[in-house]
Chain A
Amino acid sequence: MDNNPPAGVADKLAHLRLTFRQRAAGELEQLISIAERLPHGKQRRPDTTDDIALSYGILHRLAGSAGTFGYTALGDQARRLEHRLKPLAEHGALTTDDDLCRREKNRQQLLEIIAGVEGLRSLLDETDESLGATPERRAGSGDETNKPARDIHVVLCGLSEKATDFLDHALSNYGFLISTMEIESLSLQTKPGMTTVVTSEDRLAEVSKVLGSLEHADGTPGPPLLCLGRQDDFNSRYALAEAGADAFFPEPVDAPQLAERIERLVHEQNELVSGKILILDDDEHLVAHYRTVLENAGFRVRAISKPETILSELSEFRPDIMLLDVRMGAYSGTTVAKLIRFDPEWVSLPIVYLSSEQDKHVQLEALAKGADEFMTKPVSDDYLVRTAQIRCYRARQLNELLIKDSLTGLLKHSVIKQEVENEHARCQRMSHVSSVAMVDLDHFKAVNDQHGHRTGDVVIKALANLLRNRLRSTDQIGRYGGEEFAIILPECTTDQAQEVLTQICEAFADISFATPEGDLSVTLSAGIAALDAFASGSDALDAADQALYERKAAGRNGVTVFTRFDAAL
């Protein structure tokens, strides 16, 4: 057989692939709506036979077809879910009273299985990303930090065969990459911060020891260690915590809870390594040393020796915590701390004093004036890193709640506005070119009116996810109003921004949302302005907004760049 297929086959395949993708997206949406329809309380026990049959049918089809269209990972995952659903699907209708109990069980199992569908969704989206026709999808250079969220690896180690099988099955449904390792050969090749280890109470001590030695070798903290166990009381939990477990799950394991915990632990660990620290100390050598130590531990550090520049440094660098020397020539650290607290924005910034002061009473006085902790010089490198980690972690946790929009997980209005000003300042200082964009859903009121606010929320969330996935991790996205989003694209020309947003526009129009009234697709309009071309960030936002309205007037569904510099704003 000759290996070159006839001309046109690739194009036709690509077209069929697109058709498949659209249908698959609709089917996954259908599964999600089944999951949402199932009541979570105990008040009713509806017959789920139809839902089970429908879900089983969809999963079976995906398992058998996704691979043909290039979505191999999606197909494999659908097959796993299908296998789990099979026993339920084969029971048939349950009608007698005796079956009520089983119904309840079925409902719960179905819910649990369908919970894995979100993972399928991301597989559908990801594959699209990697096989997309246009390779230059993202603006700017393609360095590491520009990549979207990476896979989380779960290592199963020292578990019984039964538990290993169960977890392999249950956790892969959530999109984790699972591998099984023997304690003797336990190694972590993946990037630090993206791995977690699950073990049993019997082998915990051994595994913890091996992980401890790995940790020592390269200096980075080890992966979170989760432990499964039979006994669930204070004493056994205490023993596990002492032996190095980061979390404990009693058997039988609740898979959704375990998955959530893994995600959170890994997430927290990444937060730790990405903390931002501002150091103010007039001893330049000491500052250089702190900086090296903290940077080696994975922090982003800015060190300054002149107190006069503190306010501009704060608003530009926006640290998670600050290390402050108590005595700096003519200035007193405690007074500087008070001055920082003048600004409501910095009231909650954790400030840690660095001082050679040994007297506890003097330390307490200093703390009363606005700091959170005292580190006595000389500070050991290890102590410095640990303190910084703990402080950054807590600050980030609080910050998450304060700055993120609860529906979309994007930045809140006031935060993104402030970020625009910050980026504007960076543009001025570094003389680089950045863009801002305003994005608005077209005819969104009609979506809410005709399909209900629930569908409206689904649409908004979908756009938020798409923006997060398609933009660089250095871009900032905020929910500006109900259906309006603001985006900052640092070091990106308006041409590049227009290219990226046009692709997002097209991708979003392609998504079809399943509603009881039939499939729904929504388009979006965007306006772009060059941030550096305006006197302030808010002027640039206004210009982007004006471009957005020009686009709306010109027929929506597209991207317009602001060019009317002659017209007064």
Chain B
Amino acid sequence: MVRQSEELQRILYVEDDADIRAVAELALETVGGFSLKSCSSGQEALRDGPDFAPDLILLDVMMPGMDGPSTFRAMQQLPALKGRPVVFMTAKVQTEEIAFYRELGAVEVIPKPFDPMTLADQIREIWTSKV
């Protein structure tokens, strides 16, 4: 199942803020038509992520406990998730931070706040151009 499919379908999404998670679910499932697995923490994503077999992983950067970058590193230890394209979402958009996430291996950084009506398009765009 690790083979990259033509079209983006399954997204694993990690975000600690319930309000944002709810609106992203709406944006990605209802508006975008993706199959979405959303988790409220890095730990939850590491536990449930492998079975879900995502095409792409969407990670919030700032989370209490295990933050985005450490979740990312831990994921690289799991064969089922290793190498899956990762997109970070962050409210900080300073260039040095974006460079840091890229270096870490993220394919793209989406700045927060995002627009719920265009988030799905934004991610499709990343999928076709960067992955």
Contacts and interface: CB of A to CB of B under 8 A. Distances in A.
A60 B26 contact: no
B36 to A, nearest CB: 15
A65 B22 contact: no
Interface in B111-128: 112-117, 120-121, 124
A250 interface: no
Given A12-B30, A65-B17, A65-B112, A5 B117 contact: yes
Nearest to A78: B91
B115 to A, nearest CB: 7
A241 B30 CA distance: 63
How many residues of A sit at the interface, in one of the four size bands? 20 to 34
Contacts of B112: 63-65, 67-68
A65 B113 contact: yes
A451 interface: no
Nearest to B16: A61
A66 B112 CA distance: 9
B113 A6 contact: no
Given A65-B20, A68-B23, A13 B116 contact: yes
A320 B34 CA distance: 66
B17 A12 contact: no
Contacts of B62: 60, 64
Interface of B: 17, 19-20, 22-23, 26, 30-31, 62, 90-91, 112-117, 120-121, 124
For B22, B23, B113, B117, the residue with the greatest tally of chain A CB atoms inside 10 Å of its CB is B113
A61 B18 CA distance: 11
Interface stretch (A16-24, A164-172, A479-487): A16-24
A69 interface: yes
Contacts of B31: 5-6, 9
A12 B26 contact: yes
Contact of B124 (A1, A67, A72): A1
Given A13-B116, A65-B19, A68-B116, 7 more contacts: A6-B31, A12-B30, A19-B19, A20-B23, A60-B62, A65-B20, A67-B113
B23 A69 contact: yes
A60 B23 CA distance: 18
Contacts of A60: 62, 91
A72 B90 CA distance: 16
Contacts, number: 63
A68 B26 contact: no
Contact of B26 (A16, A64, A67, A72): A16
Nearest to B118: A1
A89 to B, nearest CB: 12
Interface in A52-97: 60-61, 63-69, 72, 75, 79
At the interface, is chain A mostly helix, strand, loop or mixed? helix
Contacts of A12: 26, 30
Contacts of B91: 60, 63-65, 79
Interface of A: 1, 5-6, 8-9, 12-13, 16, 19-20, 23, 60-61, 63-69, 72, 75, 79
A540 B52 CA distance: 69
B90 A20 contact: no
Contacts of A79: 91
For B23, B30, B90, B91, the residue with the greatest tally of chain A CB atoms inside 10 Å of its CB is B91
26 contacts: A5-B117, A6-B30, A8-B30, A12-B26, A16-B19, A16-B22, A16-B23, A16-B26, A19-B22, A23-B19, A63-B91, A64-B20, A65-B112, A65-B113, A66-B113, A67-B112, A67-B115, A68-B23, A68-B112, A68-B113, A68-B114, A68-B115, A68-B116, A69-B19, A72-B113, A79-B91
Given A9-B31, A64-B91, A75 B113 contact: yes
A6 B91 CA distance: 28
A73 to B, nearest CB: 12
Given A64-B112, A68-B23, A9 B30 contact: yes
Contacts of B17: 61, 65
B116 to A, nearest CB: 6
A79 B23 CA distance: 20
Contacts of A64: 20, 62, 90-91, 112-113
Contacts of A1: 120-121, 124
A199 to B, nearest CB: 31
A61 B82 CA distance: 29
A66 B121 CA distance: 20
B124 to A, nearest CB: 7
Nearest to B32: A1
Contacts of B121: 1
Nearest to B90: A64
Nearest to A23: B19
A84 to B, nearest CB: 14
Contacts of A13: 23, 26, 116
Contacts of A72: 113
A7 to B, nearest CB: 10
B26 A9 contact: yes
B35 to A, nearest CB: 15
Contacts of A19: 19, 22
A210 B114 CA distance: 43
Given A64-B112, A68-B114, A20 B124 contact: no
A77 to B, nearest CB: 13
A211 B112 CA distance: 41
A23 B22 CA distance: 14
For A6, A13, A64, the residue with the greatest tally of chain B CB atoms inside 10 Å of its CB is A64
A8 B30 CA distance: 9
A12 B91 CA distance: 24
Contacts of A6: 30-31
Contact of B20 (A9, A63, A68): A68
Contacts of A65: 17, 19-20, 91, 112-113
Nearest to A66: B113
A486 B20 CA distance: 41
Contacts of A20: 19, 23
B16 to A, nearest CB: 10
For A1, A23, A72, the residue with the greatest tally of chain B CB atoms inside 10 Å of its CB is A1
Contacts of A69: 19, 23, 113
A66 B114 CA distance: 9
Nearest to B22: A16
